[in-house]
Amino acid sequence: MDALLLGPVEKHVIAPERTLGLERTRAAKAVQIGSVWHDASNVEDVLYRYCKHLFANTNDTEFPHAFPGSATAIRIAGRHFLFCCGHQIKDWKFDQIAFRPYNSNVTATASSLAVPIVTEENADTDYIDARIFQYEVSKYKYANLTHEFFPLDPSRVWPDNSEKLPFLVYGYPTELQNVDYDAPKIAAHAVEVMAGYEGGTNSPHVHRIRMDRKRRFDADGMSGGPVFYIGREKNDFFVGWAGMVMRGSATSDLLHFLSAHFLIEMAFHHPIDSVTEE
């Protein structure tokens, strides 16, 4: 279930501007993530942890790792899921895909992978590209592995109680990653950006958002990254889950994301093909 990393991993968050702005615009003292309250100015740093930098363990001694982009780690109803897109991982078997738990020097592969069953009715949809890894955390040796996954309250799924503030989007753009096999060292750079809602699309459950950013970067590698939103219940602010980035481009500020409601439905109820680790 794990593999030793080639070398140390450095992680950095590139944030040219603070994305949330609650401390300025709403004078909020704290924002709730799961059951824990956080200072509004620290929310982005907390959320970054739930965007995972995917590792593909290549079994190549010279180039042992590949990096197929981002993934979204979600904990709901006692189960732990890692969501990404099929086009990110098409070149590897499911047990070659992993993420690195916080402050460890190994990568953790999943217990199982769920793949949507393609039918005549859904063959032209985008959602069949979704992939769902599940981690049975009690079977792993890592302390507090459950905390690697965003603690989602089922009542806090977009658009429920949305404040209509910008979305918070995280990812690992390919062009910003730095791997030095001579050192050896891996420098992983995540970005966090604001994004405004642009509307639905012709593809079921897929929505468009427009990034508001000062630093330009190719969005390749953002696929699989989480999209969060800010909500409010009475006078209390919270972070909820909006969905997962499906695709972007080098020339546009637009991203497409698959809704969290549908991803949850897929994880728990939709017909799937499952590949389980032996």
Beta bridge partners of 38: 31
Domain positions in the chain are 2-276
Per-residue pLDDT of the chain (278 residues; tens, 9 = 90+): 554 444 444 454 554 344 455 544 455 678 999 999 998 888 888 999 999 999 998 888 778 888 999 999 999 999 999 999 999 999 999 999 999 888 777 889 999 999 999 999 999 999 999 999 999 999 988 888 999 999 999 999 999 999 989 999 999 998 887 766 665 567 778 889 999 999 999 999 999 999 998 778 888 889 999 999 999 998 899 999 999 999 988 788 999 999 999 999 999 988 777 776 54
Closest by CA position to 44, among listed 84, 64, 66, 16: 16
The 10 Å Cβ neighbour count of residue 27 is: 8
Contact (CB, 8 A) for 128 and 100: no
Amino acid at site 236: D
- The angle at the Cα of 198, spanning 194 to 204, to the nearest 5 degrees, equals 115
Q: Which amino acid appears at position 74 of this protein?
A: I
Tokens at residue 27, please? 């004078």
CA atoms within 13 A on the CB side of 119: 8
**Torsion sign over Cα 148, 42, 157, 246:** negative
pTM above 0.85, yes or no: yes
Residue with tokens 């499906």: 246
112 bridge partner residues = 134, 276
CATH code, residues 2-276: 2.40.10
The pLDDT of residue 154 is 95
Q: What is the DSSP letter of 157?
A: B
